Amino acid sequence: MNTIIELSYILAAALFILGLKYMSSPASARKGNLMAAVAMFIAIVVTLLDRQIISYTWIIVGIILGSIIGATSARMVKMTAMPQMVGIFNGFGGGASALVAIAEFFKLSQNSNLPMDSSITIILGVIIGGVTFTGSFIAFGKLEGFISGSPVTFPLQNVVSALILIVMLVLSVYIIGWEANWLFFYIIIGLSLLYGVLFVIPIGGADMPVVISLLNSFSGLAACAAGFVVKNDILIIAGSLVGAAGLILTQIMCKAMNRSLANVLFSAFGTGDMAAGGTTAAGDKSVHSIDNEEAAMVMGYAQSAIIVPGYGMAAAQAQHAVRELTELLQGRGVDVKFAIHPVAGRMPGHMNVLLAEANVPYNLLYDMDDINPEFAHTDVVLVIGANDVINPAARNDTTSPIYGMPILDVDKARNVIIVKRSLNPGFAGIDNELFYNPKTLMYFGSAKEKIQELVSEVKKL
Amino acid sequence: MPEGLLMSITVFVLAMFVGFEVITKVPPTLHTPLMSGANAISGIAIIGALLVTGRGNQYIDLIVGVVAVVFATINVVGGFLVTDRMLHMFKKKTTEK
């Protein structure tokens, strides 16, 4: 029986790897997800057959309850709310791993002599899992709007965080090296939960792609730690796959912002006080604003157009209107493409999911590196709710806080229409010289209304 | 160092490398589904939760274990379903266009 269980775990591990591999192409991705789900199912079923398990009642209750909550939220969630959904699922995964480690601590520490390898992995599991748990809930709150999306800071924040880490370290060393003190263990649980809050709360909304990716990685590593704790390789394998995936995404996101991970996590970017360098007095500069009719003329009579979506499109839920506009323009013979910046939105690939929901064919979507050479010979660029990712200061102004960040070369196109509520600076808190460029047309209003109005005007042409 | 632990560390290191190799190839279009799919996989902690709950020898195991089972199941079921929903949207276009 044990051999069968072990073999099934290996089968599940192989399916997890294959599933992730299949995820690398849109055509096979759905199958990949299904394979991973099957792998999970196999792992769960063989575990239930394990002789170590003697009571099933509460397991069944737990599974039914979890399935109902999970399935309902997965069905109800709107595509625009996907970042917070992924965030909160992450938190539950991390929480589960921490709880497994906690239960194991209570079991092992009863005969007072906790082997060193168990105590190390238990503490790692509790800390990583605990941080993931509360960190994800804070990320969820920020994305959902319960908590301010801008960085929340207080005096000596970094000092307090460092102190917490030191206390956790000291207590851990005591538990590992001397005795399994329950009080100290409770304090470690509490501090890791607190640290999760402090870790995410100073990070601003537009940096969420990095945070969500990192928490994703943590939830994997927490599962890994739980695997070491219960001495089960399938947890270690699946956990490290997720850990690796999250780390890669984190790296891609940081690179796309030209900032180090440490800078994203600890600098409370976007509070505004660091903007001084890049800001030039805007008072003497004028902007050219246009109405619906003019915008429709520019778009409708262009030969080529590139649409640049940003978080503003997601926030206004304008993706369906954008699809309608795209089809209308295509019907008039305009060559329409989409330029997607890697950190547009609140999580990696956010724009792609929204446009897919609105039925925009994914072959119209281009990554930054592929589309940048095309701006120079494009008639018009329509920017919807994006700002920092098109700010030429990242290229020209060495004093700007975003200098060096790869941007979409929108300013090279013949005309630029920017849909925006006001001239307020974007997340990084810096002015955008592109707004004052003579070829830029500001189209003021909420993304959804403006695009809908644009659609009806283009129809009249 | 206990032999079992050494084995586990070997598995951990190798699996990390496999993860890096397999995932670097995912195109940006699929980053969100990849993330939410991977996220569902991290619900593998459910195995640990089942073992803890099922050994049923302690009150504390039962309480902590059941909560862990609920959490992990939310992660697994919700994660896979939501990923499937997203990928379904991507698939639609290939057949229509």
Residue A150: how many other CB atoms lie within 10 Å: 18
Least confident of A151-155, A373-377, B63-67: A151-155
Give the per-residue pLDDT at B96.
44
- Residue A71 and residue B75: Cα distance in Å, rounded? 10
Three-state SS for A398?
coil
- Give the model's confidence band at A78: pLDDT under 50 very low, under 70 low, under 90 confident, else very high: confident
What is the full DSSP assignment across A156-209? THHHHHHHHHHHHHHHHHHHHHT---HHHHHHHHHHHHHHHHHHHTTS-GGGHH
Q: How far is B3 from chain A (nearest CA, A)?
A: 11
| Summary mean pLDDT of chain A | 83
The model's pLDDT over A83-102, given as tens digits with 9 standing for 90+, comes to 888 889 999 999 999 999 99
pLDDT of residue B97: 38
Size of interface A-B (CB pairs under 8 A): 385
| Structural domain A285-460, CATH architecture | 3-Layer(aba) Sandwich (3.40)
Output the CA–CA distances (angstroms, integers) from residue A219 to A35, A406, B44, in the order listed. Answer: 20, 29, 10
For A400, other C-beta atoms within 10 Å of its C-beta total 23
- Top pLDDT among A145 and A49 is at A49
Average pLDDT of the residues of chain B: 83
Give the count of beta carbons closer than 10 Å to the beta carbon of residue A276.
11
Q: According to the model, what pLDDT value does residue A274 have?
A: 41
Taking phi first (over 0 means left), then psi (-120 to 50 degrees means alpha), and beta for anything else, what does residue A345 get?
left
* Residue A284, pLDDT score: 56
**Each residue's pLDDT tens digit, A335-353:** 888 888 887 877 778 888 8
B35 touches chain A (CB under 8 A): yes
The pLDDT confidence band at residue A282, using thresholds 50, 70 and 90, is very low
Specify which residues A367 forms β-bridges with. A340
- pLDDT band at A152; cut points 50, 70, 90: confident
Instruction: Give the pLDDT of residue A281.
Output: 43
Half-sphere exposure in the Cβ direction for A387 (13 Å, CA): 21
Top mean-pLDDT range of A140-144, A244-248, A292-296, A297-301: A244-248
A181 burial level (CB within 10 Å; 0-12, 13-18, 19+): middle
pLDDT at residue A94, as a whole number: 92
Tell me, what's the pLDDT at B62?
84
Q: Looking at CA atoms only, how far is residue B82 from chain A in angstroms?
A: 5
A41 touches chain B (CB under 8 A): no
As a whole number, mean pLDDT of residues A265-280 equals 50
| Beta-ladder partners of A340 | A367
What is the signed CA dihedral for B67, B69, B74, B77, rounded to 10 degrees?
Answer: -170
Instruction: Find the distance separating the first CA and the last CA of chain B, reported in whole Å.
Output: 59
User: In angstroms, how far is the first alpha carbon of chain A from the final one?
Assistant: 74
* Confidence bin at A275 (pLDDT 50/70/90): very low
A21 touches chain B (CB under 8 A): yes
Residue A356 identity (one-letter amino acid): A
Burial class (CB in 10 A: 0-12, 13-18, 19+), A410: buried
Per-domain residue ranges of chain A: 1-72, 94-273, 285-460
Give B6's contacts in chain A (Cβ within 8 Å). Answer: none
- pLDDT at residue B88 greater than cutoff 60: yes
Give me the pLDDT at residue A270, please.
Answer: 55
Give the nearest chain A residue to B51 (CA atoms).
A53
Could you give the CA distance from residue B39 to residue A96 in angstroms, rounded to a whole number?
13
In this predicted structure, what is the pLDDT of residue A190? 92
What is the average pLDDT across A210-237? Answer: 90
Q: Which residues of A touch B95 (CB under 8 A)?
A: none
Task: Please state, in angstroms and rounded to a whole number, the distance separating the CA atoms of residues A372 and A31.
Answer: 33
Residue A213: CB atoms within 10 Å = 27
Q: How confident is the model at residue A278 (pLDDT cuts 50, 70, 90)?
A: very low
The minimum CA-CA distance between B95 and chain A, rounded to whole Å, is 10
Reported as a pLDDT band with limits 50, 70 and 90, residue A50 is confident
User: Per-residue pLDDT tens for A111-125?
Assistant: 666 777 788 889 999
- Reported as a single tens digit per residue, the pLDDT across A412-456 is 888 888 888 777 666 666 677 788 888 888 888 888 888 888 888
What confidence score (pLDDT) does residue A35 get?
92
Give dist(CA B24, CA A422) in Å, integer: 39
